[in-house]
Amino acid sequence: MKKKKQPGDNISLKTKKNEEPAVLDWINSQTNLMDSIRYLIELEISRNGVRNLQTHIPAERDLSAMPAFGKQTGDAAPYRNEETAAAAEPELRLPQAADVPDKQPAYAELPDDEIDEEDIESWI
Q: How far is CA 69 from CA 23, 56, 90, 91, in A?
A: 12, 19, 17, 20
At residue 80, the pLDDT reads: 42
At residue 76, the pLDDT reads: 43
When pLDDT is averaged across residues 74-100 and rounded to a whole number, the result is 53
Query: What is the per-residue pLDDT across 41-66, written as a single tens digit (0 to 9) for each?
Result: 999 999 999 999 999 998 888 888 88
Higher-scoring residue by pLDDT: 55, 94: 55
When pLDDT is averaged across residues 13-40 and rounded to a whole number, the result is 96
At residue 75, the pLDDT reads: 46
Answer whether 62's CB lies under 8 Å from 20's CB.
no
Answer whether 4's CB lies under 8 Å from 110's CB.
no
DSSP state of 2: P
For residue 18, which of 69, 80, 60 has the smallest C-alpha distance?
A: 60
When pLDDT is averaged across residues 92-114 and rounded to a whole number, the result is 59
For residue 77, which of 17, 35, 28, 42 has the smallest C-alpha distance?
A: 28
